[in-house]
C-alpha cells in the first residue's frame, strides 16, 4: 500500500491477528445472537487492529525517508573489520553480502552482512524499501551503535539497505 511517496508494509503477524479476531467475532456472533449491541465497539476495534500497525509503519518509514539523504551525504565508507567501540555514533557505509536474515516477518529485519574483512549485524527498525534476500550484495548506510543500548559489541542501526550492482557503479 502506498501513502503519498511512502510504501507502507504491514507485517504478516498483524494480518494474522486481524484474521484471528475477525474469525473469533464471527464465531461468537453465530453462537450468541444477542451479541449484536456489542458489535458497535467490536468492529471498530477490529479496524484498529489494522490501522495502528499501518500508521506505525508509515511513521517510521517516512522518518527513514527523511534521514536517507543526510546519511548518504555524511556516511564514510568503511570495511567491517574497522568498525569498533571508537566508532559508536558515527555514520558509516559498508558494502557486503547478506549471510543471514532474522525477524523479517516482524518488519524489523536484522541482517548479517559480511565483506572480505569480517561480518557485522545490521539492524533495521522498519521494513526496507527493497526486498533483500540472503546472498544479495548490498550497501548499508547507518549509525554504529551498541547491540544492547549500553553494552554489547558494535552493530549498525541501518537507515538504508539496498541491493548493490557494482557494474552500474563503474
Tens digits of residue pLDDT in 101-144: 999 888 889 999 999 999 999 999 988 888 999 999 999 999 99
Tens digits of residue pLDDT in 78-94: 999 999 999 999 999 99
Nearest to 60 by CA among 8, 1, 13: 8
Percent pLDDT > 70 in the chain is 97
Question: If you classify domain 76-169 with CATH, what class do you get?
Answer: mainly beta
Query: Mean pLDDT across the chain, nearest whole number?
Result: 89
Regarding pTM above 0.85, the answer is no
In a 3-state reduction of DSSP, which class is residue 6? strand
What one-character-per-residue DSSP string does 89-158 give?
Answer: T-EEEEEEEEEEEESGGGT--EEEEEETTEEEEEE-SS--SS---TT-EEEEEEEEEEEETTEEEEEEEE
- Give the Cα separation of 84 and 66 in Å (integer): 27
C-alpha cell read off for 129:
524499501
> Higher confidence at residue 99 or residue 104?
99
CA-to-CA dists, residue 22 to 13, 36, 43, 99, 167, angstroms? 14, 15, 9, 38, 49
| Cβ neighbours, 10 Å, residue 160 | 22
Mean pLDDT of 7-36: 87
Nearest to 130 by CA among 99, 83, 98: 98
- Give me the residue spans of the domains in the chain: 2-73, 76-169
Mean pLDDT of 57-73: 93
Nearest to 155 by CA among 103, 105, 94: 94
pLDDT-derived band at 166, boundaries 50, 70, 90: low
The pLDDT value given to residue 167: 52
Distance from chain centroid for Cα 115: 22
Amino acid at each position: 500500500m502506498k501513502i503519498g511517496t511512502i510504501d507502507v508494509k504491514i507485517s504478516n503477524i498483524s494480518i494474522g491477528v486481524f484474521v484471528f479476531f475477525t474469525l473469533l467475532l464471527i464465531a461468537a456472533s453465530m453462537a450468541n445472537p444477542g451479541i449484536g449491541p456489542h458489535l458497535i465497539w467490536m468492529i471498530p476495534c477490529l479496524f484498529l487492529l489494522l490501522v495502528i500497525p499501518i500508521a506505525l509503519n508509515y511513521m517510521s518509514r517516512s522518518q527513514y525517508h527523511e534521514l536517507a539523504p543526510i546519511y548518504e551525504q555524511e556516511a564514510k565508507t568503511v570495511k567491517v573489520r574497522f568498525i569498533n567501540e571508537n566508532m559508536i555514533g558515527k555514520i558509516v557505509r559498508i558494502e557486503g553480502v547478506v549471510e543471514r536474515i532474522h525477524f523479517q516477518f516482524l518488519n524489523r529485519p536484522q541482517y548479517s552482512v559480511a565483506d572480505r574483512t569480517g561480518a557485522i549485524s545490521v539492524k533495521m527498525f522498519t521494513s526496507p524499501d527493497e526486498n533483500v534476500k540472503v546472498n544479495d550484495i548490498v550497501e548499508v548506510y547507518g549509525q554504529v551503535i551498541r547491540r544492547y543500548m549500553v553494552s554489547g559489541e558494535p552493530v549498525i542501526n541501518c537507515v538504508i539497505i539496498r541491493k548493490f550492482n557494482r557494474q552500474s557503479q563503474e
